[in-house]
Structure 1
């Protein structure tokens, strides 16, 4: 029986090549989109599951309320670790303080600048690092060093790295005592290329920090069995209150399972994050697959008259309706199976480009049994969905009417097909409008004035001690080379603030008001180098010794303090008075979608760790860099010359939105393609069905234009209905999405007008080929059989 079903299904496919091609092509594209999105979602949902202790690992998060704003961040204070062990040891199995950063590793002539972590001995065990050589126990040695496999290979090649010496930041020699497997790309700590022991003397300035207000470290924990994260968080919620009375601060344990997908916080509680993208693309994948299934349903039911006699004869000789349903479902599954073969080829070809757009390293898990079980279920499910309506519709024909020739599809028989076309284009139009709004939001944020000139700025990390103390000489050499207009030092780049503090006082400050400010320490040439805009007072000056320690506030800081005419007045911080020399225009250094953080810039050249260079715009960038590099190597021979373009770092702030926009663009284009493919098939069938009518009309004098309009108007009408439905739906969805941003673009009328005009044009182009082809046909051919 099954063999018979397959044989009949295959014959129908071969006999109706155009119909078969449209079905298989549409289904394969829809299934390819669904599979790509499925692989992407699987990668997102499996984040951090590489760690065996995944369910019990957490990070200590700090929530502070100041400036009428509640902020949650992942750094904490060093003394908290001991407090957890002393008071709540029953809840915490392991804890580990960490502090990340970029360091120089040197072995012989090989020098690498890599991201690493200072960590307490418990971290390798908490993360269940897969040790290739050595063991966790060796990490207790203050001179030990654990390397990732790729870093060990880069430093020592194929030689055994154990007990080899690596020089750290050209300061201290470390001994390699272990090599661990590189962390996968779908782990939060991916990119951690080495671990350094927390109790090493080179880490003295962090380990000895006993202050309860210096939030400069991360604290990872592993809970004891049967300890709930909510219970642990409730226990330690106010643990810092006795030691930091001036700050409204609470502590919580944030579980690893939420790090990636639920990293956004509101009022101190996890409130979503990338999980929104997972839901969004999951829904898109389902809808795109549904569009492909709709094509199959439409074309199968549209050709019902051609299968009607087959159904009538089968019923007349004893076939049951259930048998016919099985036959048509079997044909559907056959089509889906053939489409799936093409789908695998499409996915395999598209994966490199998809990974590039999505910033992923997704692969097809060929050897995973679950993948193939899911795939077979996917084929079966898609076959049932796409074939269910045609199967029940075709199997319901009455054999008496069919065999008498009295069966004709009524006008109402086309209503379900028309409704499905409307659904197809409604989904496609919503995707198009959403894509336009996303890119407008990115453009809006990127065009927001940032308060300084980021083009032509490069930032270099001060990784080794040799580079310190040569500020004047290095600056003079860079300017003399002609490659740089100016140079400055700072405690951060222009694209982040990094450090926030409370404890500032000023005249007129309200009692109990202790706002949080961003803190940036700079050399005197910082403002001139980055091109900030002074709106009141003056810039820092190297010719005024009293400027050392002086403050410059940004506009948000002045507004927050309420200080009238701040220039010349003082602010008290860390036991000293600091004169305010000027006010600078707000600069976007954090998220371009949020309000500017109140920031204090302090002239403190001995608290800096980055060099910022303004490259000469009159010189080609590569030429300028080739002249800048020797200057850095002259004063910092122990480090490779590595730099970052500030405008590239700023562009990364839009990366999530850009990826979402790029993926949405691809999916919207494919949705339109699938919809148009179905429309083309429907237009082909309609033209075939009305071929004699067209012949009669031509004989009676109808023009080609009139016939084209006759055949096209129904399809355009369906698209217009789709537009009327999609417009309010898209507006509501995108309006809600934009509310996530403090600064966002509006949704203007031209977005809908452009989408409407484009969709109608695409529809006309799709159906016009068949319409004009039918209108140009010689009426003699279509009427000679009458």
Structure 2
């Protein structure tokens, strides 16, 4: 029986070559898209789940009431880990770690060419809380000595040729003029690609305390991670620690809670103290895209199988007449769909292998088609679901024919059957139209983000960290940079110029209410170098020594504080001290446009101002950069000139959106292509089935144009219906997506008109081609073959 069914499958492929290839292309394309998205989704969901204590590993977070809303922040006091370990029996281990964005790259020197590396400070139990594999050293000892350093395998090979040679060797780290000799106490295995934080070395937190001081303070600026003991309910633990800081520090308003560490990557967005999504939204989005593309391909299979049913009625009739049961026929047709799916799956796997390098470049991943147990099970599940969805309706439909009617050549087409087939076509093109609208809207929003006036000039503006001799004489260094041809302006400031959303910001008690102010310490000329525009007052100036104690607020801060004009020159009680307002700067965006402009102030700070900002004259970028690099090499022998353009840092905030835009274009085009393939096949079968009718009409004088119109109108009506149904859905979905941006475009009617016209035009071309082919056939030939 199996051989017989395989023979029938082979004969049907030979008999219906066109539908076979249409199904093969459609299903294999749909399966390839699904496989690629499955690999991407799997990788996204695996991020940070490799730690041995994954289910018990948490980060301590804080909720803080701010102007009637709740601000969620990751920052905690530096000694919180010690207090929780000592006073909470539920805590197995806890560590304090400096936040990932705190430091630029360190310079590491081991008596040869220096290297740049990303590092962090962490307390003693770091390698016991996190499961980063140590190749050299013991987890409970590598950070015990404050002169230690634990480096990655890659860094060990770069500095000491091998991981074995690294242990016990000395090296020096340098960060903005801070230098320290340390000894390699351990080497950890290179971090896996699915680790959300990538770093090259870890330094003891004790050595950081030597720099910042060991006094107890309650500034919420560090990250605290902990491992709960087995069996501890983390919700009950949350209730227990909610007021922990308030008990220790009366007057504090922070409510603590813990969240699974691995959730930081996918569930990093909070609104008013409640988890409100994050990257998980894109995981869900692309999972839906994969589902819909696969459904479109399955719809093609179903439609083409039922459309060519007239050509298989005798086969069904004869089998039923000689005693075949309906269940036997159902299994036969399901077997055909399974064979088609498996063949398509093989083609899809080949396509994935070919497309994976390009897909990795688009997504910034390192995905590979490794046929492990999870991937095999996932692939089998996708293939089985596809086979069942694609083959079930044709199987039940074809097996339902009455043998007497079939053998007499009478095949009645029910209204329900036609409605189902037409409904599937409407579904296909409806999804395609939603894709077209999404591509247009996402493209517009990304263009808007890139071109919006941000309140400062990010073009031709680069920044880098002072090192070596530069830190000993910052003013002399800046003056020398200022003299380089092509340099328009230069200044310096401490820390990173761009803050992430929900960052740790000071809360100032202002007239009975807490206001979260973002702020930046700057030196002379920084506001001018950034290109920020003053609304009133002036920037910091060397000509006025008293400026160093004054503040410059943005417009949003002035509005929130309810200050009356003129603002410049006012003396206010700010944060427990009298402060004069030097000026007001117009609102500007350093965060992404997902975030509203926050209350902000500039303060004067030259003590740790190691970040240098340089504006280059337009048109001289290449020449000026070469001169800067040569100057830095001569001024700081042995140090690498490692710079970043500010517009790159700004654009990096929209990496996810840009990838969505690009992937949506590709997947949208594929959805339209697969839909057109189905329409192409249906149009071909319709033209074939109505061949005699076309011949008679032409004999009676019908023109080619009238025949084309006759054959096309049924499909055009379906596409028009799809447009009417899909556009409101597309409008709703795009409105919700745009709502995630505080600043966004307005949805324009022309976008929806263009999407509808594009879908209609594509459908007319697809159907029109087949209709024209049928219309130009000699009517004599049509009448002979019928």
- Band of TM-score, shorter chain: over 0.9
Aligned to 2:379: 375
Aligned to 1:445: 449
Task: Return closer, same or farther for 1:732/1:503 CA change in 2, 3 Å cut-off.
Answer: closer
Give deviations 1:144-165, integer Å, cap 9, x for gaps.
2111112222222346221222
155, 176, 195: which is aligned to 1:187? 195
Shift in Å, 1:412: 5.6
1:627-706 → structure 2 map (5 Å cutoff): 627-706=627-706
Residues 1:501 and 2:509 aligned together: no
Shift in Å, 1:469: 4.1
C-alpha contact (below 8 Å) 1:64/1:248 kept by paired residues: yes
C-alpha contact (below 8 Å) 1:59/1:220 kept by paired residues: yes
C-alpha contact (below 8 Å) 2:85/2:92 kept by paired residues: no
Task: Return closer, same or farther for 1:167/1:469 CA change in 2, 3 Å cut-off.
Answer: closer
Counterparts of 2:629 and 2:209, CA distance in 1: 29
Residues 1:392 and 2:396 aligned together: yes
Aligned to 1:91: 90
107, 111, 130: which is aligned to 1:108? 111
C-alpha contact (below 8 Å) 1:247/1:514 kept by paired residues: no
Aligned to 1:525: 525
Shift in Å, 1:443: 2.9
Aligned to 2:582: 581
461, 475, 494: which is aligned to 1:472? 475
Shift in Å, 1:684: 0.8
Shift in Å, 1:643: 0.7
Q: Secondary structure at the match of 1:405?
A: coil
Give deviations 1:540-587, integer Å, cap 9, x for gaps.
111221212221111111112222222112244576543211110011
Aligned to 2:741: 741
Task: Structure 1: give runs of 5+ residues left out of the alignment.
Answer: none
Counterparts of 2:215 and 2:309, CA distance in 1: 80
Counterparts of 1:15 and 1:745, CA distance in 2: 53
Task: Structure 2: give runs of 5+ residues left out of the alignment.
Answer: none
4+ runs deviating over 6 angstroms: none
Shift in Å, 1:610: 0.9
Residues 1:75 and 2:78 aligned together: no
Task: Return closer, same or farther for 1:246/1:719 CA change in 2, 3 Å cut-off.
Answer: same
C-alpha contact (below 8 Å) 1:78/1:207 kept by paired residues: no
Counterparts of 2:356 and 2:135, CA distance in 1: 30
Q: Which moved more, 1:763-772 or 1:574-583?
A: 574-583
Aligned to 2:485: 482
Residues 1:330 and 2:335 aligned together: yes
Task: Return closer, same or farther for 1:81/1:380 CA change in 2, 3 Å cut-off.
Answer: closer
C-alpha contact (below 8 Å) 1:64/1:247 kept by paired residues: no
C-alpha contact (below 8 Å) 1:592/1:653 kept by paired residues: no
Task: Return closer, same or farther for 1:275/1:113 CA change in 2, 3 Å cut-off.
Answer: same
Counterparts of 1:216 and 1:111, CA distance in 2: 30
Shift in Å, 1:493: 4.1
260, 284, 287: which is aligned to 1:279? 284
Counterparts of 2:776 and 2:705, CA distance in 1: 10
C-alpha contact (below 8 Å) 1:115/1:194 kept by paired residues: yes
1:359-374 → structure 2 map (5 Å cutoff): 359-366=364-371, 368-374=372-378
200, 210, 221: which is aligned to 2:216? 210
C-alpha contact (below 8 Å) 1:493/1:612 kept by paired residues: no
Shift in Å, 1:243: 5.0
Shift in Å, 1:181: 1.4
Residues 1:612 and 2:613 aligned together: yes
1:751-770 → structure 2 map (5 Å cutoff): 751-770=751-770
Task: Return closer, same or farther for 1:238/1:633 CA change in 2, 3 Å cut-off.
Answer: farther
Give deviations 1:365-401, integer Å, cap 9, x for gaps.
22x1232233233322211211111111111111111
Counterparts of 2:221 and 2:633, CA distance in 1: 30
Alignment RMSD, CA only? Answer: 2.0
Give deviations 1:110-164, integer Å, cap 9, x for gaps.
3222211101111111111211222212321222211111222222234622122
Aligned to 2:243: 238
Counterparts of 1:177 and 1:417, CA distance in 2: 70
Q: Secondary structure at the match of 1:419?
A: helix
Counterparts of 1:218 and 1:252, CA distance in 2: 13
1:411-430 → structure 2 map (5 Å cutoff): 413-430=417-434
* TM-score, L = length of structure 1: 0.95
C-alpha contact (below 8 Å) 1:445/1:593 kept by paired residues: no
Counterparts of 1:412 and 1:204, CA distance in 2: 79
Counterparts of 2:473 and 2:627, CA distance in 1: 18
Task: Return closer, same or farther for 1:654/1:254 CA change in 2, 3 Å cut-off.
Answer: same
Task: Return closer, same or farther for 1:380/1:80 CA change in 2, 3 Å cut-off.
Answer: closer
C-alpha contact (below 8 Å) 1:305/1:409 kept by paired residues: no
Q: Which moved more, 1:292-301 or 1:149-158?
A: 149-158
224, 249, 254: which is aligned to 2:254? 249
Q: How many residues align?
A: 774
Q: Secondary structure at the match of 1:450?
A: coil
Counterparts of 2:320 and 2:406, CA distance in 1: 11
Counterparts of 1:579 and 1:320, CA distance in 2: 93
Counterparts of 1:207 and 1:692, CA distance in 2: 93
Counterparts of 1:10 and 1:185, CA distance in 2: 45
Aligned to 1:124: 127
Counterparts of 2:560 and 2:304, CA distance in 1: 65
Counterparts of 1:360 and 1:147, CA distance in 2: 24
C-alpha contact (below 8 Å) 1:67/1:560 kept by paired residues: no
Aligned to 1:591: 592
Counterparts of 1:289 and 1:209, CA distance in 2: 60
Counterparts of 1:323 and 1:694, CA distance in 2: 38
* TM-score, L = length of structure 2: 0.95
C-alpha contact (below 8 Å) 2:616/2:624 kept by paired residues: yes
Counterparts of 2:6 and 2:765, CA distance in 1: 36
